[in-house]
Amino acid sequence: MRFRDGMWLVAEGVRAEYAEEVYSFTKNEDGKGLSLLCPTRQIRSRGDVLNLSTLSVDIEAVFDGVLSVETTHWQGARRLGPNFELFPGGKPETSNASITSNEKATTISSGSISASISSKAHSFDIRFHATDGSKELTSLLSRSVGLAYTPGPSNPLQTGDMRNMQHYIFTQTTLSVGESVHGLGERFGAFNKVGQTVTLWNADGGTSSDQAYKNIPFWISSRGYGVFIDTPERVELEIGSERSCRVQTSIEGQRLKWYIIYGPSPKEILNKYTILTGKPGKVPSWSYGLWLSTSFTTNYDEATVNSFLEGMQARDIPVEVFHYDCFWMKAFHWCDFVFDAEKFPDPKAQIARLKSAGLVKKVCVWINPYLGQASSVFKYAAEQGYLVKRKNGDIFQWDLWQTGMGLVDFTNPDAVKWYVSCLEGLFDTGVDAIKTDFGERIPTLDVEWFDKSVDPKRMHNYYAFIYNKVVYEALQARYGKDEAVLFARAATAGTQRFPLQWGGDCESTPEAMAESVRGGLSLGLGGFSFWSVDIGGFEGSPPPWIYKRWVAFGLLCSHSRLHGSNSFRVPWTVDNDDKTDQGCSAVLAKWTTLKARLMPYIYAQAQESIKLGIPLSLRAMCLEFPEDPTSWFLDRQFMFGDSLLVAPIFEESGTVEFYLPKGKWTNFFTKEVKAGPGWFTEEHKFDTLPLYVRENTVLVLGKQGETRTVYDYTEDVEVCTYQVGELATTTLVDSTGKEVAKLEVGSKADKKSLDALKGKWNVVQVS
């Protein structure tokens, strides 16, 4: 939201007041915080303290490398929930906090980061910097902290009635020359957000607009710091767009709190951010295999499902997970958790037959948190008080999506227990994973929740967290802590704890594939390790060339699912069963097999990604190469783990342009070595793309012809070395993710480390 009209004028209908000086400050009793009293005009006489507003700016040392900054106008405003669950893994000790003063400034330090408040009279000047003085990060300067009214009152008496007046708090942190900003959730526009206006408000808007399903109030700067905005409500950001040299953050309310996190590397920033909001959950090795969906509005039954899986098996394309989308239930009955008896007369037996026949290992079904009134489940939930209500006591209903649908009220503990019991019925049927769709269009007006302490506006984004948490923990309770898998669409800060997420409704176009890449890159910078996409695009029917290009991209995401809207995504329906080596079936089989061979590398990298709170794939190039300025602008390629570079192809011709950072890179397919930094252009058929291995890499592969996702990652493997120097290492894990050994290769390697390998393994020097 913009409060000014250019640099000199206030926006029409707005009254804005700014912290003009730090009049005084007090130290917290524990010595880890400062409270600054900041009047909205300079105090030069005793009369100046009357008839004006003040802002409190509280700065606190949180833990090493992290400071919190909270700005408040009226302290008496209620603190309504919900709030983000911070430090779910425990809060680190704040052992290196200190407050020091000299004639120039008062400085509060939290380990490696400090904030210095200028001692100059009648000034407002707060500088955030590395404690050792090596780097200045950002600042709060003149007209950078304030409050605003709209419509703007002409005198203070009018603020006695705030019912028809909005009140905002805002801060503006400085942007340095050349600084770029990244993250803020799954955003589909330009990767660098400078110049953009961003609203953090979950919406079902597809992948081709400024709306997003996953709005994460956290961003990373190329200068080595990140900012986490600690509120689930609507946040408006002007990122170099109101003032080109500042990032403005504003909320409607009386308080705005954010944390500034010093890395200095982006990996360290994400590690600290995910200490705050939670580390990603672990997902089982079977989930990395190919998922096949029925698609959305297609007509399917038990025979259709069988034909899909038998067809995939006949074409040597292993399916790890089969997904039943919406119409496993009757029309108008979503979501009543009951298989359509006409289409699936005995779902439990059918699922058991699919698994026993080896056609699929696991089964997933689609759900959402809405109840259409045509189902008896709606009546029951309404009678029990399990649905969100209007303020007059009616059930909140509308006809958007499902006729007369109600919304499950997850603030009601009894509603949660009931919802979990419905899920347990699915687990009894043989369902292993859940696609938690929707959860974005959560009403905020004329709404009353069971928990009266929550603010409906704060519940809008937060609903995604509580909805996914309920389902994820139900899966954990049934199958084990590390065996739970979601396929979730909506998210907010902390939802990375409940993997995995997918990119939502994209079109079947190359432009939409590029949008999806940008969305996955941005979400990964919010602590999400695992991400997927609708291979082939969701909307429309992809022509064969787009389907095959998307298959190559999709099988190099952490998770891979074939899914569409009104057309099937089994390969033979896309190209009339082209049986050549460049046909859809052959291409899908090749990429599925490649991912299976890569599993020793993928699963080891996954464990490290969870530990650090970084993406497995898509991993933005700047996470691995932060010192390379180009890496902060690359949004058509990514890293898969720390050693594989992937450049999807968006042209039917197979022409692709990509960038290699400094070092030697080996083409995985041709073994050709190229030296970076530099841009390169290649042409590819459908069974290859630019897949480059970083120098000094030890890449452990499954045996030739391996098609399974779950196998012994230490047996019959191929240990490939790429431009290895005196010593290169890699971690070997088993199929549960447990570390087995650290393999060493090179002239200074401990050869005994290879003793962890079993069977007919070999070491191959590739380049």
The per-residue pLDDT for range 316-357, each reduced to its tens digit, is 999 999 999 999 999 999 999 999 999 999 999 999 999 999
Tokens of 566: 């009104």
Report the amino acid identity of residue 442.
I
User: What is the pLDDT averaged over residues 384-405?
Assistant: 97
User: Residue 710 carries which DSSP code?
Assistant: S
Q: How confident is the model at residue 667 (pLDDT cuts 50, 70, 90)?
A: very high
User: What is the pLDDT averaged over residues 137-158?
Assistant: 96
Q: What's the confidence (pLDDT) of residue 95?
A: 76
Q: Are 69 and 260 in contact (CB under 8 A)?
A: yes
Q: Is the peptide bond before 266 cis (omega within 30 degrees of 0)?
A: no
Q: What's the confidence (pLDDT) of residue 144?
A: 97
The per-residue pLDDT for range 550-607, each reduced to its tens digit, is 999 999 999 999 999 999 999 999 999 999 999 999 999 999 999 999 999 999 999 9
Q: What's the confidence (pLDDT) of residue 420?
A: 98
Pick the CATH number of 285-367+412-612 from 3.30.420.40, 1.10.3720.10, 3.20.20.80, 3.30.70.80: 3.20.20.80
* Cα–Cα distance for residue pair 737/758, rounded to 1 Å: 17
Average confidence score pLDDT of the chain:
97
**How many residues appear in the chain?**
767
The per-residue pLDDT for range 191-240, each reduced to its tens digit, is 999 999 999 999 999 999 999 999 999 999 999 999 999 999 999 999 99
Q: What percent of the chain has pLDDT over 90?
A: 99
User: What is the pLDDT averaged over residues 509-527?
Assistant: 98
Q: What's the confidence (pLDDT) of residue 119?
A: 96
Q: What's the confidence (pLDDT) of residue 392?
A: 97
User: How is domain 621-765 classified at the architecture level of CATH?
Assistant: Sandwich (2.60)
The per-residue pLDDT for range 351-371, each reduced to its tens digit, is 999 999 999 999 999 999 999
Q: How far is CA 314 from the centre of its chain?
A: 36
Residues of the chain with CATH 2.60.40.1180: 621-765
User: What is the pLDDT averaged over residues 635-643?
Assistant: 98
Q: How far is CA 608 from CA 271, 611, 615, 688, 721, in A?
A: 11, 5, 10, 27, 20
The per-residue pLDDT for range 679-716, each reduced to its tens digit, is 999 999 999 999 999 999 999 999 999 999 999 999 99
* Cα–Cα distance for residue pair 393/693, rounded to 1 Å: 61
Residues of the chain with CATH 2.60.40.1760: 1-75+97-160
What residues are labeled active site?
Answer: 437, 440, 505
Q: What's the confidence (pLDDT) of residue 94?
A: 79
What is the separation, in whole angstroms, between the first and last Cα of the chain? 54
The per-residue pLDDT for range 88-124, each reduced to its tens digit, is 999 998 778 999 999 999 999 999 999 999 999 999 9
User: What is the pLDDT averaged over residues 470-487?
Assistant: 98
Residues of the chain with CATH 3.20.20.80: 285-367+412-612
Q: What's the confidence (pLDDT) of residue 751?
A: 87
Q: What's the confidence (pLDDT) of residue 756?
A: 93
Model pTM?
0.97
What strands lie across the sheet with 534-535, from one edge to the other? Answer: 433-436, 362-367, 321-324, 290-293, 560-562, 534-535
Assign a CATH topology to domain 1-75+97-160. Immunoglobulin-like (2.60.40)
Helix 347-356 vs helix 413-429: crossing angle, to nearest 10: 50
User: What is the pLDDT averaged over residues 32-59?
Assistant: 97
Q: What's the confidence (pLDDT) of residue 747?
A: 87
Q: How confident is the model at residue 125 (pLDDT cuts 50, 70, 90)?
A: very high
User: What is the pLDDT averaged over residues 612-620?
Assistant: 98
Q: What's the confidence (pLDDT) of residue 16?
A: 97
